[in-house]
Amino acid sequence: MPDRVRAFVALRLSAEVERALADFVESLRPADHGAIRWVRRANLHLTLRFLGDRVEASTLERLDRALIRIAAVTACFTIGVHGTGGFPNLTRPRVVWVGLESAELVALATDIERAASASGLAAEPRAYSPHLTIGRVRDYRGWDELRPAIEVAADRDFGHSAAQSMILYRSTLAVDAASYEELARYPFGGGA
């Protein structure tokens, strides 16, 4: 592994939920006029903590030990995938997201934030907001046509997913899409 990497800690959702999300994104594509960069199904994940663009290997080693401890005491849990929206809002969003519902998810993200800070990473200034990014808005061509479909899906249920492990990913940015390499997987409850 290089001395410094772009990295994050995340969860993957069930294949059924990923399929529902991918189908939803496909239904939106005709109205986006190329203005949204949609997340490919293979890259769908829910970020628990973005670690940074240039994280040192020694920091990742410290964090790895903490993530092993966190996973060992974390029981498997269920995440509800429900609703859609945009950050900062639907008038001029930068991100299109799907909502996530789980008290355990928020508790896990809090534990990871503490571990990241203790490992030498700067504290995250924003409170954790459970969501899954499905698209990034590049410009607003066609947004008026697309926005109603996002608003209609504000109450849509995409299913439930069992969280059984978390993953440390290395991210490599590219023009068309990022690629993710799994560096380590941490099964919950000492092994699920």
pLDDT for 29-64, tens place per residue? 988 888 899 999 999 999 999 999 999 999 999 999
Percent of the chain with pLDDT over 70: 96
Packed helices 15-32 and 143-152: angle between N→C axes, nearest 10 degrees: 150
Predicted confidence band of residue 74 (pLDDT cuts 50, 70, 90):
very high
Specify the pLDDT at position 192: 43
Single pTM value for the model: 0.89
Mean pLDDT of 119-125: 93
pLDDT bin (cut points 50, 70, 90) of residue 167 is very high
- What is the average per-residue pLDDT within 97-108? 96
Question: What pLDDT is recorded for position 124?
Answer: 92
User: Mean pLDDT across the stretch 156-184?
Assistant: 90
pLDDT class of 191 with cuts at 50, 70, 90: very low
Q: Count Cβ neighbours within 10 Å for each residue of 27-37 and write b for 16 or more, e otherwise.
A: ebeebbeebbe
Dihedrals φ, ψ of 190, to 5°?
80, 10
Structure confidence at residue 34 (pLDDT): 82
Question: Could you tell me which residues come within 8 angstroms of residue 129 by beta carbon, excluding any fewer than 6 positions away?
Answer: none
Looking at the predicted structure, is the pLDDT value of residue 10 above 60?
Answer: yes
CATH no., domain 4-190: 3.90.1140.10
Average pLDDT on 24-32 reads: 91
Looking at the predicted structure, is the pLDDT value of residue 135 above 90?
yes
Whether 95 contacts 36, CB under 8 Å: no
What mean pLDDT comes out for the span 65-87?
A: 97
Q: What is the pLDDT of residues 141-153, one digit of tens each?
A: 888 889 999 999 9
Average pLDDT, the chain: 92
Residue 162 confidence (pLDDT): 96
pLDDT beyond 60 at 190: no
| The pLDDT value given to residue 176 | 72
CA–CA gap between residue 117 and residue 177 (Å, rounded): 29
